[in-house]
């Protein structure tokens, strides 16, 4: 069954949420469990309540809203996240949540009853920008991450997840695993350049690549920058720089799709004329093949040890996140491709380079994702942009697949 979606309503909601944590020059900063996240949660749950949906929040702050179905069956869940990185855009995660809400409101407008309930969800701390690991809420919900361990995680500002949850009143009562969908669908912007470059309207996502985040802490000795001969230094900064160069060399040597990123690096005492005594940096490695990802990790870790030893420094490392590559449900992926065809939308199958909440659901229920193009392929950037017609295409397809999967009973008020 085909339904009309209301693109103006969708756009108005995206803009309204984008005003919360708005940055000068565009984009948003709504770090997980911050005051801005709290305001975003209030706005979105207010929309859930306006539609008289049944709203639930679990013990790690994941929130979902259900429109009941004809039968007491597990819900078809559409979702994503509303937290952002510190330099986020208006669409990353938000589209999956507000797109899911738009599907439900359009179904209500069309007076359609579904066999399975329809639900829309947002998950705590998908980004991992304040607290590592990423996909924290969905990972806890689906049993991939331990609740107590995650509540104890300390963020970049020294606040724990537990305190941050309570600080904004986001801790709910529903237990872990309360959300058990019959299937999970996530609409998301591509965040990369492929669809736009090809002029393709829809990405049918086949899976998500493996993710490895490591933090290295290097300890050396601070010394005078002018008087200390190079051979006598224990320069923690030089070791960190060597690790950053090695990460890039690994990506170059392994070739695509291996990627490597040093997103954070800080020195102490951080003074122009002092050899750094401490350095801390993070390395993000990703690949679609876990064996290759493991080889990349081994090379990085071995080189880091050797660089530190050569400089007379000590080095420790800790894993911040480690997720294996995930394949999405072939039937649901096929249904998305079929749906795109029925709607006359050009499409191609592709893996996801970014991590997503959908990957946490994949081991437990059929899960899959829909991508729409990102202008200039950029995301995690305040200039992230997806055109209204692309947003609307994605939501139409989401509705098409959600209704097919949830099962339409009959228009209310009509006889069979």
Positions that interact with ligand GLV (CB under 6 A) = 127, 134, 354-355
Q: With 0-12 CB in 10 A as exposed, 13-18 as middle and 19+ as buried, what is 310?
A: exposed
Instruction: Return the number of the residue (40 or 93) whose C-beta is nearest Mn ion.
Output: 93
CA 235 to chain centre: 36
Q: Least separation, in Å, of the C-beta of 43 and Mn ion?
A: 18
181 binds, among ligand GLV, Mn ion, none (CB under 5 to 8 A by kind): none
Q: Least separation, in Å, of the C-beta of 122 and ligand GLV?
A: 14
Rounded CA-CA distance 30/37 in Å is 5
Q: Least separation, in Å, of the C-beta of 233 and ligand GLV?
A: 35
Closest CA to 383 of 196, 194, 191, 135: 191
Instruction: Return the number of the residue (209 or 222) whose C-beta is nearest ligand GLV.
Output: 209
Helix (H) or strand (E) holding 332: helix 330-342
Q: Least separation, in Å, of the C-beta of 59 and ligand GLV?
A: 22
Q: Least separation, in Å, of the C-beta of 253 and Mn ion?
A: 27
What is the four-CA torsion angle of 138, 141, 144, 146, rounded to 10 degrees? 110
CB atoms near residue 4 (< 10 Å): 10
Handedness of CA 352, 358, 361, 365 (dihedral sign): negative
Residue nearest to Mn ion (CB): 93
Instruction: Return the number of the residue (42 or 156) whose C-beta is nearest ligand GLV.
Output: 156
Helix (H, G, I), strand (E, B) or coil at 401: helix
Helix (H) or strand (E) holding 137: helix 136-141
> Is the separation of the CB atoms in 276 and 235 below 8 Å?
yes
Q: Least separation, in Å, of the C-beta of 208 and ligand GLV?
A: 8
Instruction: Return the number of the residue (251 or 354) whose C-beta is nearest ligand GLV.
Output: 354
Instruction: Return the number of the residue (56 or 188) whose C-beta is nearest ligand GLV.
Output: 188
246 binds, among Mn ion, ligand GLV, none (CB under 5 to 8 A by kind): none
Binding site for Mn ion (CB under 5 A): 92-93
Instruction: Return the number of the residue (145 or 354) whose C-beta is nearest ligand GLV.
Output: 354
* C-alpha distance from residue 66 to each of 45, 155, 402 (Å): 12, 31, 14
134 binds, among Mn ion, ligand GLV, none (CB under 5 to 8 A by kind): ligand GLV
Residue 169, token pair as written in the block: 């009143």
Q: Least separation, in Å, of the C-beta of 373 and ligand GLV?
A: 17
Instruction: Return the number of the residue (88 or 117) whose C-beta is nearest ligand GLV.
Output: 88
CB atoms near residue 255 (< 10 Å): 8
Q: Least separation, in Å, of the C-beta of 260 and ligand GLV?
A: 13
Helix (H, G, I), strand (E, B) or coil at 250: helix
355 binds, among Mn ion, ligand GLV, none (CB under 5 to 8 A by kind): ligand GLV
390 binds, among Mn ion, ligand GLV, none (CB under 5 to 8 A by kind): none
Helix (H, G, I), strand (E, B) or coil at 355: coil
Instruction: Return the number of the residue (127 or 400) whose C-beta is nearest ligand GLV.
Output: 127
Enumerate residues 6+ apart whose C-beta is below 8 A from 317.
214, 215, 216, 217, 301, 304
């Amino acid at each position: 069954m085909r339904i009309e979606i209301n693109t103006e309503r969708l756009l108005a909601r995206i803009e309204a949420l984008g005003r919360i944590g708005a940055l000068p020059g565009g984009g948003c900063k709504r770090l997980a469990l911050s005051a801005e996240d709290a305001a975003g949660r209030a706005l979105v749950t207010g929309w859930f309540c306006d539609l008289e949906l049944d709203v639930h929040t679990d013990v790690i702050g994941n929130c979902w809203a259900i429109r009941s179905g004809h039968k007491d069956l597990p819900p078809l869940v559409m979702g994503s996240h509303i937290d952002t990185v510190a330099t986020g855009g208006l669409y990353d995660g938000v589209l999956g949540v507000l797109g899911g809400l738009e599907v439900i409101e359009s179904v209500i407008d069309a007076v359609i009853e579904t066999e399975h309930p329809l639900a829309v969800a947002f998950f705590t701390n998908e980004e991992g920008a304040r607290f590592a690991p990423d996909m924290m809420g969905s990972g806890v919900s689906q049993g991939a991450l331990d609740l107590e361990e995650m509540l104890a995680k300390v963020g970049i500002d020294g606040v724990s997840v537990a305190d941050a949850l309570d600080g904004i009143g986001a801790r709910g009562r529903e237990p872990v695993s309360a959300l058990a969908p019959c299937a999970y669908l996530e609409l998301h912007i591509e965040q990369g350049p492929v669809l736009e470059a090809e002029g393709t309207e829809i990405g049918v996502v086949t899976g998500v690549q493996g993710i490895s985040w490591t933090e290295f802490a290097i300890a050396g000795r601070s010394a005078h920058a002018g008087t200390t001969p190079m051979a006598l230094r224990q320069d923690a900064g030089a070791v960190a720089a060597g690790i950053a160069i090695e990460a890039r060399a690994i990506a170059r040597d392994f070739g695509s799709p291996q990627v490597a990123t040093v997103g954070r690096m800080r020195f102490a005492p951080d003074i122009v004329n002092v050899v750094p005594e401490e350095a801390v940096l993070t390395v993000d490695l990703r690949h679609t093949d876990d064996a290759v990802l493991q080889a990349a990790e081994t090379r990085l870790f071995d080189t880091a040890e050797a660089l530190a030893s050569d400089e007379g420094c000590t080095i420790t490392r800790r894993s911040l996140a480690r997720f294996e590559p995930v394949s999405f449900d072939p039937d649901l992926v096929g249904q998305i491709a079929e749906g795109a065809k029925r709607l006359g939308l050009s499409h191609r199958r592709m893996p996801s380079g970014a991590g997503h909440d959908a990957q946490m659901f994949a081991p437990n229920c059929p899960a899959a994702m829909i991508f729409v193009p990102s202008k200039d392929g950029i995301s995690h950037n305040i200039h992230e942009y997806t055109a209204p017609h692309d947003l609307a295409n994605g939501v139409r397809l989401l509705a098409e697949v959600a209704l097919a999967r949830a099962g339409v009973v009959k228009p209310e008020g009509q006889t069979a």
